[in-house]
Amino acid sequence: MFTMHPTLLIGPAEWHADEMPRNEFLARIAALWLGCAPATTGAIVYGDARHHAELAYLTNFTPKLEPALALIPKAGAPRLLVGGGVNMLPAARPLTWIEDLLPLRNVGKTIAQWAKACAPDGGRPVLIGAGAMSFALHCEIVESLGRDTPDATFALQSLMQCKRPRELNAIRRACATLDASVVAIGQAQRSGATAASAVLAGEHEAIRRGAQDVRTLFSIDRGRTFRPFDGVLMQATPADPLQVYVAVRDAGYWSEGFVVFGRSHPAVDKACAALRSVIAGAKPGATARVIGEAMAAAIRPYHVHPIAARSFGNAVGLALEEAPVLSAESDTVLVPGSVHSIRVSVSDNADQFAVVSAMISVGSEGCETLWSGCRGSG
């Protein structure tokens, strides 16, 4: 799910060739060309501090503050245009496998020259991530290439849905960091810490383990509503039960989870039982509609918590909320190789609320639970 994001990303984002070698990215790029028209000559890939999953997938680069553009030809060496001026290039080099780095300036002219060099005999590049560009930047690019320039964002996102083995390993590490953060919150809560102090303990543990980003929400009204960290709440009374949401980014990949700490109550028990049942019944090829119907039946007589009214899950990877989003009105199919966050939420519209979730990996025959908020969380 989306949360507030930092204005400046400060966590470690270096490229580690032993974990994600150059050949891994070349294989991803080769797979992209298979999904594009034969006349495609290259790709122009955009990313910024908030929307950079596609850029990171092909380059490993995460823009810290200013946006960036990758110019990836179908034949030849790629180039990365980095925002912030010449002084930012030394800081950007350790973040990517691409060797040719230039400042992000004179974008229209630079792209026009690059596109012409890539296609001396015709053909044109595709755009990826255009929807996240500023209006001015998008206009500059399409004016240099033509307004009918193809957009391949959806094609790449479809490719990204099936996680490659190294990606799954990275997500497992993110889940381990998530688990350590959740354990720290639980320990603090049981020691009598306030809700804000307990959540802060979890954030500190994730950062200590090298997380690139940590985002949290918590409830001080028994799970009815969620709020971000607030220093004013440090003096609040201890929360029991304590409902929290934690998302961590480790080695570029996200994991997230909802969990309830403290004394058990019927809503938590019902939510956890429903979560286990839904995961056990989820199979590759199952539609979100069928899963949603099973979830609704499993939580009766409770209702869906408002926080999950739009959806009960989504794919997770280099973005915290990747396509597809899972909702009870969707015929989206679980695809082998995909990784999802599945949320079960319950409410009696009075004083019983609970939201629990799990990270699952879809296999050829069933789903593997990578992390669950219903294992030793009480």
Please report which confidence band the pLDDT of residue 323 belongs to, taking 50, 70 and 90 as the band edges.
confident
What pLDDT is stored for residue 42 in this prediction?
96
> Which stretch of 129-138, 144-153, 222-231 has the lowest confidence by average pLDDT?
222-231
- Look over the chain and give the mean of its residue pLDDT values, rounded to a whole number: 91
User: Does the pLDDT at position 378 exceed 60?
Assistant: no
Q: Which of the pair, 247 or 3, is modelled with greater confidence?
A: 247
Q: Please state the domain extents for the chain.
A: 22-160, 165-372
Report whether pLDDT(111) > 50.
yes
pLDDT of residue 228: 84
In Å, how far are 36, 173, 226, 271, 305 from 267, measured between CA atoms? 48, 30, 17, 6, 11
Q: Per-residue pLDDT for 143 more than 80?
A: yes
Residue 350, pLDDT > 90, answer: no
pLDDT of 324 above 60: yes
Name the band, by pLDDT with cuts 50, 70 and 90, for residue 308.
confident
Q: What is the mean pLDDT of residues 26-38?
A: 95
Encode pLDDT of 205-214 as tens digits. Answer: 999 999 999 9
Three-class SS string for the chain?
A: CCCCCCCCCCCCCCCCCCCCCHHHHHHHHHHHHHCCCCCEEEEEEEECCCCCHHHHHHHCCCCCCCCEEEEEECCCCCEEEECCCHHHHHHHHHHCCCCEEEECCCHHHHHHHHHHHHCCCCCEEEEECHHHCCHHHHHHHHHHHCCCCCECHHHHHHHHHCCCHHHHHHHHHHHHHHHHHHHHHHHHHHCCCEHHHHHHHHHHHHHHCCCCEEEEEECCCCCCCCECCCHHHHHCCECCCEEEEEEEEECCEEEEEEEEECCCCHHHHHHHHHHHHHHHHCCCCCEHHHHHHHHHHHCCCCECCHHHCCCCEEECCCCCCEEEEECCCCCCECCCCCEEEEEEEEECCCCCEEEEEEEEEECCCCEEEEEECCCCCC
Which class does domain 165-372 fall in? alpha beta
Could you tell me which CATH number the domain at 22-160 has?
Answer: 3.40.350.10
Quick one: tokens of 274? 């429903």
pLDDT at 237 over 70: no
Instruction: Look at 30-39, 237-246, 278-287 and tell me which has the smallest mean pLDDT.
Output: 237-246
| pLDDT at residue number 376 | 47
Task: Supply the angle between the helices 195-208 and 165-190 in degrees, to the nearest 10.
Answer: 140
pLDDT reading at 118 higher than 60: yes
- Between 120 and 326, name the one with better pLDDT: 326
